[in-house]
Amino acid sequence: MTSQIKPYSKTDIRTFINTPLAIGNREIPTRLILAPMSGLTHVAFRELVDRYGGCGLLATEMCSAKALPIENRHVSTVFRWRDAEASLLNCQILGSDPDIMVHAARRVEAEGFFGVDLNFGCSVAPICKKNCGAALLRTPDLAVQIVRDIRQAVAIPVTVKFRTGWEDAVAPAADLARRFEDAGADALTFHPRVAPDRRSRPPKWEYIRMIKQAVSIPVFGNGEVFTLDDCEKMFETTGCDGIALGRIAVAKPWVFAQWTGALQPDSNIYRESLLQMMELLASHFSPPTDIRKFKKLALYSAALFQFGHAFFTRMFRAQNFPEMADVIHAFFDASPEPTSRPNLNLFR
């Protein structure tokens, strides 16, 4: 099967990024979407991304399908959102029991989210032990059944995020992609790494091309897109329809606005963005959760600068937001040198 969607063809990269894309019965305004990240893509972070703009589709953190039907959105730290973002927010669910996954997907639909995203990629041991996340790639029939059952239960877009699998071969992943499409998936996000490789080796972008060629639904490429040049190269070499940005979006919540051309940031944006993040975390969470979450995000900002590790260490030692604000001002008053690519020792 070949794709009917027009791929990137060496035109203006910004025009392509700004071309809307249909996903199932809905449409997203740009080709750059947020990759779901546990502990990072919470409601406060997403509000900051939204303030800058340009993101085609937001993502929640992974939410346990078992817990989701009874979650209280005002108490849960992961299943919490602003009404204003729901229509462009994909809720990622994690689980392995088709009935439980269906139950969760129904709640996601009832709450008015854009769509439901199935996590078939997380490879951390406690998740895989429960046969969830990437473990489902070892039981493809069950993974496909989950997609099919959810497809039959909800009308909103159903998307799947998955990775290469447990061996370094793209053919089984391409076969699975086809089966996800046949089961009713509306789009795929593919992270071309084997499990349990947790970002230690470079992703194999050439595998994204094989996934794209296997299906006719939109495919989002994912993995180490850190600059607009990376972005163009991924579109060019893989033919993917969109790109899911992970860690670079955490480090630069304005990256969607910048790459779509809506914003031309100056060097003040690093400081301003961190200060805004602090304010938003304080408005959505209470201490010490807000402080803990800020430290987690700040690690990725630190990865953008020479001597960023020293900045992060000072930040880590700070006890409260006023102390952290002092660390931020001291660091940026000294005009730190940005690195050309993020420091991967910090960008974990």
Catalog residues that contact ligand FMN under the rule CB under 6 A. Answer: 35-40, 61-62, 92, 119, 121-122, 161, 191, 222-225, 245-248
Nearer to ligand FMN, 189 or 332 (CB): 189
Radius of gyration of the chain (CA): 19
Residue with tokens 């304010």: 279
Q: How far is the CB of 124 from ligand FMN (least distance, A)?
A: 9
Strand order of the β-sheet with 242-245 is 32-34, 242-245, 219-222, 187-194, 158-165, 115-120, 89-94, 58-64
Q: How far is the CB of 3 from ligand FMN (least distance, A)?
A: 22
Strand pairing category for 158-165 and 115-120: parallel
Nearer to ligand FMN, 119 or 273 (CB): 119
Q: Tell me, what amino acid is at 227?
A: T
Q: Where are the alpha helices (DSSP H) in 79-184?
A: 98-110, 125-129, 140-153, 170-182
Q: Tell me, what amino acid is at 26?
A: R
State the Cα–Cα distance between residues 46 and 81, nearest whole angstrom.
Answer: 9
Q: How far is the CB of 86 from ligand FMN (least distance, A)?
A: 19
Nearer to ligand FMN, 245 or 304 (CB): 245
Q: How far is the CB of 302 from ligand FMN (least distance, A)?
A: 14
Nearer to ligand FMN, 39 or 69 (CB): 39
Q: Point out the catalytic residue in the list 63, 91, 122, 231.
A: 122
State the Cα–Cα distance between residues 22 and 238, nearest whole angstrom.
Answer: 19
Tokens of 191: 């992270």
Separation of CA 222 from chain center: 9
Tokens of 104: 């969760």
Strand pairing category for 115-120 and 32-34: unpaired
Look up 122 and say whether it is catalytic.
yes
Nearer to ligand FMN, 246 or 332 (CB): 246
- Where in the sequence numbering do the catalytic residues fall? 122
